[in-house]
Structure 1
């Protein structure tokens, strides 16, 4: 059944909290029902916690906005119970192409090896992503969503955070043990707390045009530097579901953002790309500028900032929404353990220790991409064009071309939750790395891991595990399970190899031979019980 998620309007409904003389208690309040807030709420509810989700609007996002969702984000959506819908509706792609002028420079494959359940990327309009997440959230009785509820202020208390909430019927108050602010780039929560994001703004403007048309372009990412149909600028083309194509045109800083939105300005640009006989219609148009910035810290007492509320990047590389969903999964499992009494509050400090460096990594890549795409001097333009010319024939030059270093998951290599290796290993599955998927005889490895602490063991018999808090579940991979040998290859495994995997499916320890004493010590470290100052 097709649902027009853009036309949905949600009713404001009076809650019992509004009639209470004292603030009602909620374990977690999430502010903002975008992709990051919804993912946070679903993850917390899946861990058995009650969640109050507040949003000051009564609809989902307007326009396609974020469209490129990376393999790691799709794997998170799988764990949240809605990955299949995202992939079935979305446009799958692995290949990107770079052009200079009219000529192709080179192409690249973001997932050249097989044996992965999910593609490198799926293109899917943000309103579909929010809609599918919302459907999942509505199916979970632990989540209460209140539309038309705007948080005006927060008051720290010894026993939690008191929120003042505005509704069409007046104000009321709630008390939360913890608050997750996923309320967007302009974050009213950040402003109410007197906090700010700092960074660099870029003096350029880009036009986004979502165009509905029939086209024979393949489902790939095409990026043009200085094409003849848009002299002096760059253009990016992406396919979306429902016959909609995203086209980004670089306009320059002097462009008038109001005039450039007008159809008589947009249509000639699109027609220059598609040809004079092309039939198309504009579905959504926006002009944007952007900044690369972040808050100094993402944890402020019992309040945690996630997604655009915590950090912002340019759109080149699809790092905004993808990093925000990774924020959500990082804070959710930690809050769940603390609220269930299975970990100390110190565990929550690791949210800053892991996600602030991840934001810096995204900002660095995003800034470099923007500087390459929009050179601001004759010298930098000459350098860029020389690199593009070399890249046609020279592999080394292709590494210097930067049309957007596309989103990759962060490895928390310096996390205080990691247990350093005592044994020798090869490959990417270092402590702090996100677990890689692999095909098994009965499905996929990540599906077997689930969403708790898991001991991934390679051998013919599962190991005996001690009783621990939180509990650790064993997943055993025998030779017959690893039908293509990819699991053993990706984890550099031999009989007896064991990995301790966190609830967000990141590695936190690994051994060549399981030792229960070492396992307990690694679990203490991964839950913050043995964590020093980050």
Structure 2
């Protein structure tokens, strides 16, 4: 039990197919009601696809888990109507400080530019986040969230899967055109399917101590290398909601997890850090190890893997849940197109192409962070300490300091869905990149660009253009200066919006193509490419 939070208990309900003994085939069944599974179902519902969520528990995640959520996942949740609420309730921050021994090495800013709707980061305990996502699922007529439903087996046919499910009322079977496995790092689904999960385990152990205290530390990320209160190791400090502070202590390879969790071991560590006069209470204590690894294929027949069921990274850099939410964003529109018969299975296979690429990028960042935080040799330690010494006074050394590169989206620059540029553009909005937000005006009222994107394909134009239809998709025109007003010039600057410029934006708010003038045939070809119709 936690001092600051009471866990809800959700009611088990017998489904109609259980009561009647009817074998029903659902478009999508999601396994796992964590942040990824809940977001996946809500995103599918946003696109008009009904989804059933099965979870073998009947509450939100227990203990201290994910806490940091980055700007891109917040933008995705904002598309689902939840981003503003999360940003308001979470602890917003963008400044990080790195200390070496007893001195400040340097300070960084995750979002140095203005004019973004969502903050760089929020800290928001996972149980709060999940509880709100559960409420949103309960409010959606297209989401059927079923607690105390444990999947025992999955049998696959060419065009559907059969799930054997255990409930308090016994065992029954249900069918799904598609199964999405969002059941976490220890995924039972992965084991049932026999999917390979390979990568690197790290031996170092870390202690999470969530403490309740009223402290005057700023809402920043503080990371210490070799501090005087924890010599030879590292420490991380974050503020959460409810006056709860997350402290991570590196323990080393030989630490005994059971021994290190005892209050008589934990409390002196915290007192050494905060001072004996600072009053606090322990909220949660655990010891963890971690791995950097991923599944061989994100789709195995009719079963698709997301989140920690598909990939794992170290906690440094807040890449776990943030990466999983972006999996959902990538998958939903593609699955909708395939279910509707508007795109071939080849489009669904680009989920693996793009998100495995992102997972490998995140694993690379995560592995490098871990190697810097926990040097494996005396030479590596000397090199790291030299970098930290130089970072105090030399700007060139600061990018080399790696206390966890904070989560940023991986652009799909090499995706087969992109249409390459044929002319020169300035800025970052290359094909495969998620769209940058910008303040605008629409219908005489202040608004944000991203809130105009995300339903279907959009032609963001800086001059006259016409809607283009391919199959069941129509790319509607959003003309700057006509449909929306670039009130501060930020939109034009970020998109290098010279007169006549046109961007084709995917349903997941990623750039598919861009040109310096509108050409319906070119747009049609780019849409066909983005849908794998050619």
Match of 2:82 in 1: 82
The CA deviation at 1:399 is: 1.2
Check the 8 A contact 1:6/1:61 in 2, yes or no.
Answer: no
- Deviations 1:358-391, CA, capped at 9 Å, x for gaps: 0000000000000000012111111111110011
Q: Give 1:86-101 correspondences, 5 Å limit.
A: 86-101=86-101
In 1, the alpha carbon distance for the partners of 2:12 and 2:415 equals: 42
Match of 1:125 in 2: 125
Match of 2:194 in 1: 194
Check the 8 A contact 2:467/2:474 in 1, yes or no.
Answer: no
The CA deviation at 1:19 is: 3.7
In 1, the alpha carbon distance for the partners of 2:193 and 2:367 equals: 28
Check the 8 A contact 1:458/1:494 in 2, yes or no.
Answer: yes
In 2, the alpha carbon distance for the partners of 1:156 and 1:51 equals: 18
Match of 2:453 in 1: 449
Q: Does 1:496 align with 2:503?
A: no
The CA deviation at 1:145 is: 0.6
Q: Does 1:373 align with 2:377?
A: no
Match of 1:345 in 2: 345
User: Which segment is superposed worse, 336-345 or 83-92?
Assistant: 336-345
Find the partner of 1:486 among 487, 490, 508.
490
User: Which segment is superposed worse, 448-457 or 211-220?
Assistant: 448-457
User: Which segment is superposed worse, 63-72 or 98-107?
Assistant: 63-72
Check the 8 A contact 1:23/1:162 in 2, yes or no.
Answer: no
Q: Give 1:167-182 correspondences, 5 Å limit.
A: 167-182=167-182
Check the 8 A contact 1:354/1:412 in 2, yes or no.
Answer: yes
Match of 2:468 in 1: 466
Check the 8 A contact 1:6/1:59 in 2, yes or no.
Answer: no
Q: Does 1:57 align with 2:57?
A: yes
Check the 8 A contact 1:81/1:136 in 2, yes or no.
Answer: no
Match of 2:530 in 1: 526
Consecutive unaligned residues in structure 1, runs of 5 or more: none
Q: Does 1:511 align with 2:515?
A: yes
Check the 8 A contact 1:5/1:131 in 2, yes or no.
Answer: no
Q: Give 1:239-254 correspondences, 5 Å limit.
A: 239-254=239-254
In 2, the alpha carbon distance for the partners of 1:128 and 1:512 equals: 46
Check the 8 A contact 1:431/1:510 in 2, yes or no.
Answer: yes
Match of 1:70 in 2: 70
> TM-score scaled to structure 1, two decimals?
0.96
Check the 8 A contact 2:181/2:309 in 1, yes or no.
Answer: yes
Q: Does 1:395 align with 2:398?
A: no
Match of 1:322 in 2: 322
The CA deviation at 1:158 is: 2.6
Q: Does 1:45 align with 2:45?
A: yes
Match of 1:294 in 2: 294
User: Which segment is superposed worse, 382-391 or 478-487?
Assistant: 478-487
In 1, the alpha carbon distance for the partners of 2:530 and 2:79 equals: 20
Q: What secondary structure does 1:211 align onto?
A: strand
In 1, the alpha carbon distance for the partners of 2:500 and 2:461 equals: 7
Match of 1:354 in 2: 354
Q: 1:5 to 1:227 in 2, by over 3 A?
A: closer
- Deviations 1:328-362, CA, capped at 9 Å, x for gaps: 11111111111122211211010111011100000
Q: Give 1:234-313 correspondences, 5 Å limit.
A: 234-313=234-313
- Deviations 1:474-501, CA, capped at 9 Å, x for gaps: 2121188111111011101112111111
In 2, the alpha carbon distance for the partners of 1:287 and 1:6 equals: 23
Match of 1:14 in 2: 14
- Deviations 1:120-177, CA, capped at 9 Å, x for gaps: 1011101111112112111110110100001111101133011111111111111101
- Deviations 1:234-276, CA, capped at 9 Å, x for gaps: 0000011111110000001111111111111111111111111
In 1, the alpha carbon distance for the partners of 2:433 and 2:5 equals: 35
Q: What secondary structure does 1:96 align onto?
A: strand
In 2, the alpha carbon distance for the partners of 1:156 and 1:22 equals: 19
- Deviations 1:434-476, CA, capped at 9 Å, x for gaps: 00001112211101113221111123xx522134421222212
Check the 8 A contact 2:469/2:524 in 1, yes or no.
Answer: no
In 2, the alpha carbon distance for the partners of 1:451 and 1:321 equals: 23
The CA deviation at 1:326 is: 0.4
> TM-score scaled to structure 2, two decimals?
0.96
In 2, the alpha carbon distance for the partners of 1:147 and 1:117 equals: 35
Q: Give 1:94-113 correspondences, 5 Å limit.
A: 94-113=94-113
